[in-house]
């Protein structure tokens, strides 16, 4: 009886250890995490965009072949506006992080104001 209790405890511990990496990568990170700084932008400001693909690649096996950073205006906004492409990147194999800067143009700020 004690043997079965010990075996059950060991197998439970093994399952917990195996699940630990999954707990550190929530489902929402399956395609990466993007942060923008600063969050308030005016025309002429420099914006830093960072993307972290660590969980996407290591936990979910989603390896990006390219990334497009696009600002889309909602359909129900004041008329149709084309998406504003901030950047297009083709990361090298094994790349887990990207960081780049863009200068906020007057067109970008006009799109942000209409949101």
Instruction: Measure the CA dihedral 99/103/106/107, to 10°.
Output: -40
What is the pTM (predicted TM-score) of this model?
0.66
pLDDT in tens, 47-106: 999 999 999 999 999 999 999 998 887 777 777 778 888 899 999 988 999 999 999 877
If one counts every other C-beta atom within 10 angstroms of the C-beta of residue 96, the result is: 15
Give the CATH class of 27-114.
Answer: mainly beta
The mean pLDDT of 3-11, rounded to a whole number, is 47
Domain ranges of the chain: 27-114
């Amino acid at each position: 009886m004690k043997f079965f209790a010990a075996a059950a405890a060991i197998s439970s511990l093994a399952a917990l250890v195996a699940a630990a990496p999954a707990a550190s990568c929530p489902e929402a990170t399956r395609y990466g995490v993007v942060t923008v700084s600063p969050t308030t932008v005016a025309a002429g400001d420099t914006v830093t965009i960072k993307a972290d693909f660590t969980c996407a690649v290591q936990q979910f096996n989603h390896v990006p072949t390219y990334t497009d950073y696009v600002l889309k205006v909602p359909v129900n906004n004041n008329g149709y506006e084309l998406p504003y492409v901030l950047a297009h990147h083709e990361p090298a194999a094994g790349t887990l992080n990207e960081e780049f800067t863009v200068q906020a143009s007057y067109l970008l700020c006009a799109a942000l104001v209409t949101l």
